Structure 1
Amino acid sequence: MIPMDVLLLFFVASVALAVAPGPDNIFVLTQSAMHGKKPGFIIMLGLCTGLLFHISAVALGVAAIFKTSILAFTMLKIAGAAYLLYLAWQAFYAGSASVPAAASERRDGWTLYTRGILMNLTNPKVAIFFLSFLPQFADPARGSVSVQIMMLGMVFILAALIVFSLIAWVASHIAHWLNSSRRVQLIINRAVGLIFITLACRLLFSHQ
């Protein structure tokens, strides 16, 4: 069993890491600002589902492949960069078209959820981060390291859910204002497209 003081320290560290600017929280911020709170929450759930896969991979030792294999790392980051560029193209293509929040939630809920999963899974840096971060708080003397890593992973997801929820809630408050002006919609879509291109380049030129 992991001591409570270790879990508390890990939770604080996880909150700090979730707050730090990165592709996931920027994605929640931009999508919540454009489409509202509920779509932002759906994307957030998708991102955290992706974290489950990464955490399981670390617990099973699979993530070590991406740390030691240049080919596997390169292939995954190319896929991630390509997906980000696809999202950028969608943002530019959207132009100033308004997206009614309620209709978007009903029609695209599953799409938004899977988009969050893909956004997270195609970032090999997440797998390597967990491989480096989680084991630091596990101790073989306490029992199964894999079980401890899964427990720590759940704590990290809890921290991410709290932080991402706050981001989605705050960003959603400007969604109505964005939809009230076609010019503002055009500007925000262009800005989101540029953000995705920047993230794609950052991922593409990242190292193991």
Structure 2
Amino acid sequence: MSPDLLVALIAFAFVTSVTPGPNNMMLLASGVNFGVRRTLPHMLGISLGFMLLVIAVGLGLGQLFERVPLLFTALRYLGAAYMLYLAWRIAGSAAPQTRADARGKPFTFLQAAAFQWVNPKAWIMAIGAITTYAPQENFIINVLLIAALFALINCPSVGLWTVAGSLLRRWLERPRILRVFNVGMALLLVASLYPIFTDVQGAFR
């Protein structure tokens, strides 16, 4: 991989990781409801889960979806249904009893890692990274390099959303205000599914 391509990949990894999406909406809400420390497993799970997804796409899963588009479509709809469930959970999150304690539980490491496999944005990022930034020469090494770079860049990038949520926490201690915030985060998570809703609407025309 040439230096220019590497710099472009780093920029791509940062921009796609730090911009709003399902992961970052959930981390912002988790930072508010549970704080940074309790959200760390969620953050690390996102990074490792996405790294494994990039490797899987590079090793042939992406080609399988190209050959059998129905599989990818089914995965998108499954992911959309799961994200609607997560939005419902976020909207119903209770206010923390104290700063150190909150009702409910944040995402675990394994839950966050598994979520990447049904996260539409994660699939788009992984497929885009492999098809755009992985030269055919030494392809496997390039795939592993892309996955490792994403893991290194992704965690601090998504962590900014957790920290932002934690900083907002003291302003949202009143149950009514926190309830409004959580409902707003849930609606933004649902809004991130707009491309899928558009596809569904087109399929029934």
**TM-score, normalised relative to structure 1:** 0.81
Q: Which residue of 1 aligns with 2:96?
A: 98
Equivalent residue runs for 1:1-208 within 5 Å: 2-94=1-93, 96-98=94-96, 100=98, 102-103=100-101, 108=105, 111-141=107-137, 144-178=138-172, 180-205=173-198
Residues 147-173 of structure 1, C-alpha deviations (whole Å, 9 max, x = no match) = 211111111221111211222222211
- Equivalent residues, number: 200
CA distance in 1, matches of 2:123, 2:56: 8
Unaligned runs of 5+ in 1: none
CA distance in 2, matches of 1:112, 1:156: 20
- Comparing 132-141 with 51-60, greater Cα deviation is found at 132-141
CA distance in 1, matches of 2:196, 2:34: 25
Secondary structure at 1:173 match in 2: helix
CA distance in 2, matches of 1:116, 1:203: 21
**TM-score, normalised relative to structure 2:** 0.82
| Kept in 1: contact 2:54–2:126 (CA 8 A) | yes
Residues 77-115 of structure 1, C-alpha deviations (whole Å, 9 max, x = no match) = 121111111112222333x5335454459x846x43233
Q: Aligned pair in 2 of structure 1 residues 10, 22: CA closer, same or farther (>3 Å)?
A: same
> CA RMSD, aligned part only?
2.7
| Kept in 1: contact 2:80–2:193 (CA 8 A) | yes
CA distance in 1, matches of 2:85, 2:97: 19
Q: Aligned pair in 2 of structure 1 residues 49, 205: CA closer, same or farther (>3 Å)?
A: farther
Q: Moved runs in structure 1, 4+ residues, more than 4 A?
A: none
Q: Aligned pair in 2 of structure 1 residues 39, 139: CA closer, same or farther (>3 Å)?
A: same
Q: Aligned pair in 2 of structure 1 residues 89, 155: CA closer, same or farther (>3 Å)?
A: same
